[in-house]
Structure 1
Amino acid sequence: MRTKLFQFKALLAILLVAALLPWNQANAASEKPAFDPFEKSIDEIANALDTNQITSEELVEYYLKRIEAFDKQGPAINSIITVNDKALETAKKLDAERKTKGPRSKLHGIPFVVKDNFDVVGMPTTAGSVALKNDYPSKNAFTVQKLIDAGAIVIAKTNMSELAASYGRLGYSSMGGLTLNPYNLNRDASGSSSGSAAAVAANFAVFGLGTDTSGSVRGPANVTGLVGIRPTLGLTSRSGVVPSALSFDVTGPLARSVEDAGIVLSVMAGTDKNDKATQTAHHYVRDYAKSLDASSLKHARIGVATDFFGDNAEVDAIAKQAIAKMQSMGAVAVPVSYSSQTKYLWTPILGPVGDAEFKTQFEKYLGMLPAGGPKTLQEVIDISESPEVANSATPVNPGRLEGLKTALEKADTLNSKEYKKIVHKEIPNTRKEIMDIMKKNKLDAIVFPTMSCPASNRFDKEDPTYVCTAYDTYAASYVASATGFPEVTVPAGTVEAGVPVGISFFGPAYSEQKLLSLAYSFEQATKARTVPKNTPELP
């Protein structure tokens, strides 16, 4: 009898523990710190992952929900071309790895977006062209691989101006349609890295990758309230990236803060045996974020590039206010002016070099892809002009199509006297001019509004509030492109239409650390970045 009573009591105790277990688990779950990734920095997210406030799997789910809520519905920002269907699986593996081995780096388990001209295994590289929709690369782009090796997760590939050139339709492609500016849906997100910029601004990922030939990282960052870095030509690899013109092409990060952009640049930069331009890069790579100095402007001498003012009163006012703020912090501002040619480098340098280089370099890239897709520029043009594409909802931009035909015709100019003169004389002369200005005035950097006008009207919709008297609002960007020198854009303010405006810090080759510190000093003093109202925090 006693044995049965003992057994009954033991069973009762087991049932009581079992009954309490779900309550204890629920109670424990309720005590778990709630971490909201919205607008958080890399450091904040890395710390949350380290302290088990969130998992990488939960982080990926969070950004996928935001993409679902805002990218193709709601405001329909339309920044994403392809979502990585392996992102969650990768996140789970990285969570398990963190438990057994610890994090690989600060980026371990952190999602990022990639402009769709970077190769990512398992996802097509379309560069925005429907002609390349079935081109699946066999290996990752060098910079993508470096970030993956550091534990970062590609969550999606982003829309862009088709084959990295806008021709009046900024952020539009036959593959992805038009990307909108999350700050004002009547305005564009510039080009050609529009998708990456809009996605990071809208909190679809922690940071993004873009490419910059003539302003394609800086312009989009400028109009979406981000920090964008065009690194020194040769600091970051271009292998595994669809080329536009390798005399000017660079890869660079887009992020919501200078510190985040610096962290990403430190990881992605370096020597790549498949990109000769980077052969000495390893000598220059720094831990950029670690050395940021908020007091950098205190003793700085900055040149103010006066040639790039006068096209929009609001932009001028924000830029002048920014310079006045730098002066109040201790910086000395020195007005500087460029030669008549350097004021507008598209016609004498960027345009003709781009036309000469594109076909040869593009076809070399296509030749490295697995069989099945187009291998020549002519094939891409033929597909782009086919009735199927021409009559689709997103036909190729007619201006872009004409640009491809021009590149086809001018490919033979790669060995011309004009091309050689530009590469061997005009580009070095432009570099010398900038260095002479900096040396003569003892400058730490040259500053100017990144673009001389705010984000422009989307090509398919008029916005009468847009005012711009510029012949080319991107003219200031061409100086860094032609010289191969670095430029950092950082938010400086917002115009009445609600779109952000940035200011640029520009300097000699491999001066990234100094430029980032100056930008950081300005950023910390002004806190000018705002959050886009069209993609708010989810409830």
Structure 2
Amino acid sequence: MAWSVDEQLALTASEAVAAIRTGKLRATDYVATLLARAAALASLNALTVLNMEGALAAAQRIDALSPDEKARLPLAGLPIVVKDNINTAQLQTSGGTPALAGFTPKTNARSVQRLLDAGAVLLGKANMHELACGITSTNLAAHAGPVRNPYDPGLIPGGSSGGNAVAVAARIAPAGLGTDTNGSNRIPAALTGCVGFRPSVGNGGAERRYHDPDAVLPLSHTRDTVGPITRTVADAALLDAVITGDDALPAVTLAGLRIGLPAPLWDDLDPAVEAVARTAQRALEAAGVSFVEIGMPELMRLIEQTSPVTAHETLDDMRAWLVANDAPVQTLQELALSIASPDVRKVFAAILADPFAPLYQAALTTWRPRLQQLYASTFATDRVDALLFPTTCLAAAPLDEIRGSSMVSVNGTARDTMTAYLRNTEPAASAGLPGLSLPAGRTADGLPVGIELDGPVGSDRRLLAIGSACEQILGALAPPII
């Protein structure tokens, strides 16, 4: 059968793979359609590099395989975008900053390589907040540009994995691989109507789900992780399974699930966001979920005490990546000289001054374990399968190309943008938990709202299964009209 452009753009990752593996859709045709889509929507600045020749060549290799060979590839012909801070040997890994523009590492990150080995096609590198030091993706580097929300190009898409989320939401690609340090996958997913997954990190040892040593331009080895951004939970689970080698999701039914509602993460929300989230909660309750109100009064104090971890670790971790990958600049001082975005220059000035060094050990060895114990006791004592709350306190804010959208209004009060958007996503990251943001609906103004599910460390596949069951009730958002 001949597939129309609209039919191809509507395919989820799982549907696209099934169509290509069964011979109903040629990978070459599908990739060509998406490359044309990317070119037509270049004004969104979702990508820093479009892999036109390489993607078509990879798709041709997939089409040349026998049906049996395609059947053995879990991602046969699936076009993906990879965030521009994740190592790719084919394309640049610039971190969205001028000093690294055009720099190509020698090898792929392990997570990327596993996707490619499974048949995925690298469509391009996704734009991002410069050096991942922000959550708006308002990047002023000449080779990047500010990423624009496809639901309203005058709004931010969230970040720092904003390009991934925009590419997926705008139907430029069915799936992407981003990174999440404090919320960088989940925030843009929430603001663009996508699914964003942060896998378990735990204490960074055996509990770390994705292992990509020296293969991601880092902020914090304690918190950084790669993770999928997709349009459905099933697609996130598909990429997760390929990267980790896990089997099918466990069976989960909503009836009988106990899900906690942590009070600090439901407090002081924008009314439009709270209305959508409460409607989603009622729909899940009608489907059989039992909700449990949970106080966690000490949560935000513990988060504040653990915050020096990222700020201090960037200094050594980013320097180590530059050296290990033989980057064109070898020190943070050199890197900082060409930073294009004013908000990132300000962040880097603080990083280089390293004011949090005296607080780092206490944050890592005292406060972080207390935070992890709080979560462990909450899951055990309250007997909850997961925690649920709005991913962000507000929907997408106006894009300010001059100041990097440094202030936003929440309930009529001016707040620092980064602090406001990170409030609900930082806790899981600080504790090393898995977190999954999925669409809850849209505000009266048509802006996407996400809800997040957090689970115990190591519960990733069950958390994805819970998210998939919730998704069946909440449904998918209508695509943006572009």
Please, what TM-score do these two structures have when normalized by structure 1?
0.82
- CA apart distance, 1:171: 3.9
**Residue aligning to 2:246:** 286
Aligned length: 462
Q: 3-state DSSP class of the match of 2:155?
A: strand
- Written as runs of structure 1 = structure 2, the 5 A alignment for 1:355-394 is 355-370=311-326, 373-384=328-339
**Bigger shift: 90-99 or 240-249?**
90-99
Task: Tell me if the contact between 2:22 and 2:67 (Cα under 8 Å) persists in the aligned partners.
Answer: no
Give, in angstroms, the shift of residue 199 of structure 1. 0.3
How far residue 32 of structure 1 moved from its aligned partner, in angstroms, is 5.0
Alignment of 1:48-447 (within 5 A): 48-71=19-42, 76-84=43-51, 85-98=53-66, 101-166=69-134, 169-174=136-141, 175-233=143-201, 234-239=208-213, 240-269=215-244, 286-287=246-247, 290-291=248-249, 293=251, 296-309=253-266, 310-340=268-298, 342-343=299-300, 347-350=304-307, 352-370=308-326, 373-384=328-339, 396-410=340-354, 413=357, 416=358, 418-447=359-388
- Tell me if structure 2 keeps the 8 A contact 1:357–1:411: no
SS of the residue corresponding to residue 154 of structure 2 reads strand
Listed as ranges, the gaps of 5+ residues in structure 2 are: 202-207
Task: Give, in angstroms, the shift of residue 521 of structure 1.
Answer: 1.2
Post-superposition offset of 1:321: 1.3
Shift of 1:314: 1.2
Q: 2:219 & 2:162 partners in 1: Cα distance?
A: 16
Q: How is 1:518-533 mapped onto 2 (pairs within 5 angstroms)?
A: 518-533=466-481
**Residue aligned with 1:303, SS:** strand
Contact 2:258 2:292 in 1 (8 A): yes
The structure having more radius of gyration, on CA atoms, is: 1
Shift of 1:474: 2.2
What's the CA shift string for 1:268-319, capped at 9, x where partnerless? 23xxxxxxxxxxxxxxx632xx3254x5211101111222233211111111
Q: In angstroms, what is the RMSD of aligned CA positions?
A: 2.1
How far apart are 1:467 and its partner, in Å? 5.3
What's the CA shift string for 1:157-211, capped at 9, x where partnerless? 01100111117x5442414110010011121100100000000111111100110
- Would the aligned equivalents of 1:486 and 1:512 in 2 still touch at CA under 8 Å? yes
The alpha carbon displacement at 1:267 in A equals 1.1
Matching residue of 2:452: 504
Tell whether 2:433 aligns with 1:473: no
**Once the 2 structures are TM-superposed, how far is the Cα of residue 100 of structure 1 from its aligned partner?**
7.4
Establish whether residue 455 from structure 1 lines up as the match of residue 455 from structure 2: no
Structure 1 alignment gaps of length 5 or more: 1-30, 270-284, 385-395, 535-539
TM-fit CA distance, 1:412: 8.8
Aligned partners of 1:345, 1:201: CA distance in 2, in Å?
34
CA contact (8 A) 1:193 1:210 kept: yes
Closer, same or farther: CA 210–202 of 1 in aligned 2, 3 Å: same
Partner deviation per Cα, 1:18-67 (whole Å, 9 max, x = no partner): xxxxxxxxxxxxx6566822221233212221332221111110100100
Q: 1:363·1:376 contact (CA, 8 Å) conserved in 2?
A: yes
Q: Is the alpha carbon distance of 1:162 and 1:154 closer, same or farther for their aligned partners in structure 2, counting shifts above 3 Å?
A: same
* CA distance in 1 between partners of 2:27 and 2:107 (Å): 24
More deviation in 195-204 or 127-136? 127-136
Q: Deviation per CA, 1:442-492, whole angstroms, max 9, x where unpaired? A: 1101100010111111123999xx852374232111111110000111100
* Structure 2 residue matching 1:447: 3-state secondary structure: strand
* Paired amino acid for 2:104: Y
